[in-house]
Amino acid sequence: MACNHVPGVLQIGDRSDVIATRAPAPVFVIGARQDSEFPPAGTQLTGEKLKKIWGLYGAADSTGWQIFEGPHDYNKLMRERAMGFFDKFLKGKGDGSPVPEPSLKTEDPNDAQFLALPQVPGGRKTMRDIARENLATASPVSFAEIVRLNGGMPKRASPNFKILSTEGPKSAVTFESEPGLTIPGLLWLPEGAPKGAVVLVSEGGKIAAAKEFDVPALLAAGCACLAIDARGTGELRGLDIRLMTYLGTAPAFALAVDALAAVEAMRRYSTRIAVIGAGLGGAQVPMFTAMMDPSIVYVAGLQGMKSYLEVLDLPEEDKGVNYFAIQPRANAGAPLEALKALVKCPADWSAQGEKDPDLIGHLKTAIAAHK
């Protein structure tokens, strides 16, 4: 689980549905104007929905919400408002207005008295140990089960492919993945009619893809190339990919939906289409895309993982977790090797530190073999 993002919770209900299990007990929701993780519009919708639910009990005045200026926080103004709420409903004192906070001295966070135990006892299981045990129970499943695990296939949009500008063989383009989600891309066309087409996916986005993959060699092989800013990458990096967890969706699965839209957009250039991705999560994108579209002629996942267990091998204090690599509830899905086995087209995979396969040679073979 990534932080407080409970996998698949939105398959059951939203935040207000969960909070509503408290009805008609008093509840007050605090939000921040510049909080990207809990957007203020969502906090307001939560509060409005709670008012309606509490109203069914005749207790609408026992719930409310307030959005404060600032980032994701629990600042002084928030604390004073919270204390007013507690005084009113726990002490029967006041009307809920903010209670001025006295001057406080912050305790040293390194003070030993805050430690539950001075040392971790030997032989105890950690959360990572339990996660490893759970992952060991994963077994092969069908593609239908994979889709279900990831919250289902989202509603698709018409590609609405647009060329924005062109400079030499390269063009800036956009297309739609899901309704309202526009994906930017860079398109290169070879000289003459394309023999095939390739969708390139990098965790760094389209600019990084142009550096990570040998676009000139792909063009020389007669392939049109489209590098994309899938959600959470490049121009769309402001879309917090962790939030897909609420749907139970693996980030790589979500990026594959964008890659699938790119495949559909590239059909204008060729019916022989390949998908290539790189990175711990990016290498999974071609895998999921090929499951979604069996007409894809070739996929390659470069510098990826051999097992989901590798996500658990990060140092305890590592703050650079690659969220693209995570499969929520992976123990209920299938091992990574079993997922790769579901890909029916020719495929190449390489793990971190391994030599990459002969992409150009294998791609040419796959294109030539496609009827």
pLDDT of residue 315: 60
Strand, coil or helix: 281: coil
Token pair in block for residue 322: 């690659």
pLDDT of residue 240: 84
Q: What is the DSSP letter of 221?
A: T
| CA–CA distance, 308 with 295 (Å, rounded to integer) | 27
139-163 burial string, b = 16+ CB within 10 Å, else e? eebeeeebebbbbeeeeebebebee
How many CB atoms neighbour CB 34 within 10 A?
12
Burial class (CB in 10 A: 0-12, 13-18, 19+), 265: buried
Nearest to 255 by CA among 330, 319, 331, 204: 204
Token pair in block for residue 197: 């087409």
Nearest to 68 by CA among 35, 94, 46: 35
Strand, coil or helix: 194: coil
Residue reference for tokens 């507690």: 86
The answer to whether residues 138 and 334 touch, using CB atoms and an 8 Å cutoff, is: yes
Long-range contacts of the stretch 126-132 (C-beta < 8 A, 24+):
128/312, 131/312, 132/309, 132/312
Report angle CA 237, 238, 242 to the nearest 5 degrees: 80
Ordered mean pLDDT values, 10 residues apiece, the chain (371 residues):
71 88 95 90 95 96 95 94 96 95 89 76 82 90 92 90 94 96 97 96 96 96 97 93 85 96 97 97 97 97 93 65 86 92 96 93 92 67
pLDDT of residue 117: 73
pLDDT of residue 302: 97
Beta-strand relationship, 27-32 and 63-68: parallel
State the pTM of this model: 0.83
Strand, coil or helix: 193: coil
The answer to whether residues 198 and 223 touch, using CB atoms and an 8 Å cutoff, is: yes
CB contact set of 120 (below 8 Å; sequence gap of 6+)? none
The answer to whether residues 175 and 162 touch, using CB atoms and an 8 Å cutoff, is: yes
Burial class (CB in 10 A: 0-12, 13-18, 19+), 2: middle
CB contact set of 329 (below 8 Å; sequence gap of 6+)? 7, 8, 149, 248
| CA–CA distance, 65 with 166 (Å, rounded to integer) | 49
H or E segment and range at residue 227: strand 223-228
| CA–CA distance, 37 with 168 (Å, rounded to integer) | 40
pLDDT of residue 314: 64
Token pair in block for residue 147: 């889709």
| CA–CA distance, 46 with 42 (Å, rounded to integer) | 6
Residue reference for tokens 């800036």: 172
pLDDT of residue 287: 98
| CA–CA distance, 197 with 297 (Å, rounded to integer) | 10
pLDDT of residue 14: 87
Cα-Cα-Cα-Cα torsion 141, 126, 12, 137, nearest 10 degrees, comes to 20
| CA–CA distance, 337 with 334 (Å, rounded to integer) | 8
Q: What is the DSSP letter of 2?
A: B
pLDDT of residue 318: 52
